[in-house]
Amino acid sequence: MTSVRGSWSLIEEVLRENANSVFRALRKPASETQVRRLESKFPAKLPRDFVQSLKVHDGLRNSYLGQIRLFDYWALLPVSAIATIWKMMTDLQRECGFGGCQFTVTPKIKNDAHWRPGWVPFMDADGDRLVVDLDPGPNGKVGQVFKWSNSGSFPMTIQADSFGAWLAATAEKLSKRRFRLDEFGSIWFDAE
């Protein structure tokens, strides 16, 4: 498997050539202090590959709630937005006690609540999120990445066994040019 830095190098190269506005929006690395503050919020240690990625790029500028998206309309969240969304969702779950997603039936993801404190959002598409799972189901793996539905309208699905594997798969799709650009220069992956 490619290293986190190696995956980011491939992603940067493709963005520079094909989606320069996204490439220019990549933020500088998160500081050690920012990462430690973020990590202190969660009930478990952040996976090393996820921390390494934050220390390469702290999300995208003008992405969350803005126009610039990494791919498929997904905003890559900076540390500040990760913390804000996590707190909002954790507080909302605590106050309201929402149940899990009726469509999710995998023992890899805990599905007893709409949101769990061990879920770390790192990408957002109008409320739907890609999440690093620090509190997996009995057949899941700590650090797995899954797609979470805010509305509960689609099942939560595992995207990769780890953040590093997810990032490497993303880099591979981009480097093999398995995407199209829309009329605005946004990247959309080919259906698989």
Range of the domain at 77: 4-189
> What's the rounded mean pLDDT across residues 73-92?
96
What value does the mean pLDDT take over residues 22-29? 96
Question: What is the average per-residue pLDDT within 72-87?
Answer: 96
> What's the confidence (pLDDT) of residue 182?
86
What whole-number distance in Å separates Cα of residue 61 and Cα of residue 189? 21
**CB of 143 within 8 A of CB of 133?**
yes
Q: Which pLDDT score, from 0 to 100, does residue 157 have?
A: 94
For the chain, give the longest Cα–Cα distance. 46
Q: To the nearest whole number, what is the mean pLDDT of the chain? A: 94
DSSP character at residue 176: T
CATH number at residue 116: 3.40.1580.10
Q: Would the pLDDT of 112 be above 70?
A: yes
Q: pLDDT per residue over 151-176, tens digit each?
A: 888 899 999 999 999 999 999 999 99
The band of 185, judged by pLDDT with boundaries at 50, 70 and 90, is confident
Placement of tokens 């490497």 in the chain:
168
Nearest in space to 122 (alpha carbons), one of 93, 172, 79 = 79
Task: Indicate the helix (H) or strand (E) that contains 6.
Answer: helix 4-18
Q: So what's the pLDDT on residue 1?
A: 63
Lookup: tokens for 175: 């480097």
Number of domain units in the chain: 1
In this structure, which amino acid lies at residue 20?
Answer: N
Q: Yes or no: say if 135 and 117 are a contact pair by the CB < 8 Å rule.
A: yes
Q: Taking Cα atoms as reference points, which of 47, 3, 70 lies closest to residue 141? A: 47
Burial class (CB in 10 A: 0-12, 13-18, 19+), 60: buried
Tokens of 76: 């890559």
CB-CB contact of 163 with 145 (8 Å): yes
Confidence at residue 192, expressed as pLDDT on a 0 to 100 scale:
64
User: In the structure, what pLDDT confidence band is assigned to residue 91 with cuts at 50, 70 and 90?
Assistant: very high
Distance CA 102, CA 123 (A): 23
CA angle 47, 145, 46 (to 5 degrees): 15
Percent over 70 (pLDDT), the chain: 99
* pLDDT beyond 80 at 65: no
Digit-coded pLDDT (tens) for 137-154: 999 999 999 999 998 888
